[in-house]
Amino acid sequence: MTVLISLMLNYFRMNESKHYSCVLCKRRHTQKERRKVNDETRRLLEKYFAIFDISESAVICNKCSHLCYKKKQNINTIAQSQRSVSDVYNPPVKVPRPQNPDRSPPSVTLAIPSTSTSHSYCFVCKKPGPKLIVASTYARFRAYIQCELFVQSGSRCCPCHIEDGILSRDALEKVKATKSSCHLNRTSILELLQQAREEVLKKEGKRVDFDDPTCLSDSDYHNLTGLTKEQFDDVLTHVNNIRPTKTRSIRTCLAILLTKLRCGMDNQMLGTIFNMTKYQIRRAVQSARKALMSDFVPRNIGFPHITREEIIKTHTRPLAQHLLSDITTAPAILVLDGTYIYIQKSGNYTFSRRSFSMHKRRPLLKPMMIVSTTGYIVSVLGPYLADPKNNDSSILNHSILLNTEEIQRWIKEDDIFVVDRGFRDSESVLNDLGIRMEMPAFIPKGQKQLSTEEANNSRLVTKVRWVVESVNGRVKTWKYLGKTLPNSQIPYIGDYVRIVCSLCNKYRPPITSGTFDADIAVASKMTMLAKKTNELQQFVLENGLDKRSMKWTSIDADSNIVKDFPRLAEEDIRELTIGVYQLKTAKSYAAEHLTDDGMFEILVSNDVPNIVCAKIQSRHTSAKKYSLWIKYCETIVSWYCTCKNGARVVGMCGHISCIIWYLAFARHLSNAGDESLGIRDWTEDVDDAARAIDSSEDEDALDNQGQEE
């Protein structure tokens, strides 16, 4: 019984010791509401509340603590007011300070041009108030740094002259000095020194500072992020759910991601530029990626973000409508193609097999691009694996059958999909939906080239389909998507591709820039030519001009024998090729066929007037050459080549354009004999193990050298 009573007493003492009462209000409070009585609070309690003998473990609640300090402030205010009244009747006697010859004067005059000090008008445009604002200390400091002009403290200007807290570029050009010197007091000098110190420390701490509006120019923004400063600010309005930290702001977080995508830098390099650790860079990239994917990307890419009618009205070329459809029906024309994002080889053998592309002979993932005929990216599907089970046809069939992004609701009957030959197995699926598929023709088995009709129809398709290749090239200008990505980034590749495509849709101009009248004219010309046959092909085959028995004389293209060949400008040749790609390849073909003496050989026949023949080396296979014929009079009449697309009339192949470009234009230039023609041969600058030793003397010299060794 005694033991039980002692335990109960100890229990009550322990519970009693856990409760602390406020020394002023005597109430018990929780631990969050009380604080220990320090020396200053102890003096206030003794002075104003007559509470003495306060123990060292005493506590006071928050409410009573504020009451003590409020009592002190009220008494000090009353004492100060009484002192001011007494000073009126008994003014204090001013005691002169002793003069110190080493002390600096209150203000100094420096030979620095300065502005006016008036508050009634703007010191930039001299317009009177009343809506004027005072220039901040930092704005005045930046004006001194950029223009060597000191803006007096308290000077006012119009609000339109201030941008991002400093004077705008136009304001700095307009502001003029009204005085050749300025008066600076101690405060102004200290402010200048402090601002200069902060500026130096800021530059030392960060190599690139997106938070400083004066650190980077508009071209710097474009080089680092792919966007102008104005476009960057616009993207910033769509990323509101990024949490700023001590090491980076929301603006810096977005800049890190865009710089990574644009420049292809790794996290360590970005950490060096932004003065952050690799792990801080990783977290910043993750935060910016999630914010863009939730707010910015859904508004700029994907089938739900744009209507079918808007694609037809705004993002469809008249050229495509006239070439592929009836202009009265106005279907939606979409161009599809897959692109490649290269990845590292995986240690997981199953994934390594599924991601290995037999076409590219390396591991990769395949996003499917769906664009309009102007280059506007409607949607990006995937990315998908790269094995044969994930070819272009399988990807398209998979997306349609699963109704990805409600694609079946978006497309309508009689819409047109422009694709390449890799989509041939999707024809039945598209036909079931009433979708017409436009695809270049296949060469029939047993033939070496397309017929004239097939080649012409294929050219109509490729005239529209090239835009998706250009879009893929534009996306790869963000270099991070063009390099081999580490496997740790595989889950985020789709996000990166969609972010870049959204930026292209939002801020990049259309790929095609042709006017309505020009598109109609080109479409009408191509449609008319597609109905014609290749008369020169029939003439060559009927007269045996492609036989070895035909006598052709090899001459230099600069010879007077072909002086009657029509002379054309590059614009005229472009009208014949109906495109710029053939002109680009013409220079490379011509550079290969120029001899060391600057001679360009072609073949002519006295039996066949006004026709030249040539043989062009294939750009892909060394053992293959193509024969071609060009008929001319006062202008180019017709052409024919033995390559796969050489029989077409709608435009011409690169081999024919090479001969026409050189004979009609390049040989008449002053530098026609130049070996380069703008194309430099790097063969001599690289070692070649296949280079044989022709001279027997050199062989003997090598043998003797070997014996001596």
Please tell me the number of Cα atoms within 13 Å of 47 on its side-chain side.
11
Give Cα 327 distance to the centre of its chain: 35
CA gap 330, 323 in Å, rounded: 12
Q: Phi and psi at residue 402, in whole multiples of 5°?
A: -85, -5
- Which helix (H) or strand (E) segment is 603 a member of? strand 601-604
Alpha-helix runs per DSSP H in 355-451: 392-401, 407-410, 427-432
Q: Could you tell me what percent of the chain has a pLDDT over 70? A: 84
More confident residue, 444 or 287: 287
Give Cα 285 distance to the centre of its chain: 16
Predicted local confidence at residue 12, as pLDDT: 47
- pLDDT of 99 over the 50 cut: no
Question: Which among 256, 251, 247 has a CA at the least distance from the CA of 236?
Answer: 251
Q: C-alpha angle 328/330/332, rounded to 5°? A: 165
Predicted local confidence at residue 42, as pLDDT: 84
Question: Which among 361, 353, 365, 358 has a CA at the least distance from the CA of 486?
Answer: 365
Give per-residue pLDDT as tens, 445-482. Answer: 888 889 999 999 999 999 999 999 999 999 999 999 99
Q: Which of 107-116, 490-499, 628-637, 695-704 has the lowest mean pLDDT?
A: 695-704
126 falls in which pLDDT band (50, 70, 90)? confident
Predicted local confidence at residue 582, as pLDDT: 83
- Whole-structure pTM value: 0.70
Give per-residue pLDDT as tens, 304-352. Answer: 999 999 999 999 999 999 998 876 678 999 999 999 999 999 999 999 9
CA gap 163, 233 in Å, rounded: 13
Q: C-alpha angle 410/416/420, rounded to 5°? A: 115
Give per-residue pLDDT as tens, 39-74. Answer: 888 888 887 777 877 888 888 898 888 888 887 777
Q: Are 398 and 429 in contact (CB under 8 A)?
A: no
Q: What is the mean pLDDT of the chain?
A: 82
Q: Are 221 and 234 in contact (CB under 8 A)?
A: no
Give per-residue pLDDT as tens, 404-417. Answer: 999 999 999 999 99
Domain 12-84 has CATH 3.40.1800: yes
Give per-residue pLDDT as tens, 542-601. Answer: 888 888 767 777 766 655 567 788 888 888 888 898 888 888 888 888 777 766 555 667
CA gap 450, 631 in Å, rounded: 21
Q: Give the tokens for residue 357.
A: 């592309």
Predicted local confidence at residue 17, as pLDDT: 45
Predicted local confidence at residue 612, as pLDDT: 86
Q: Are 485 and 260 in contact (CB under 8 A)?
A: no
Amino acid making up residue 239: V
CATH code linked to domain 303-518 = 3.30.420.10
- pLDDT of 278 over the 60 cut: yes
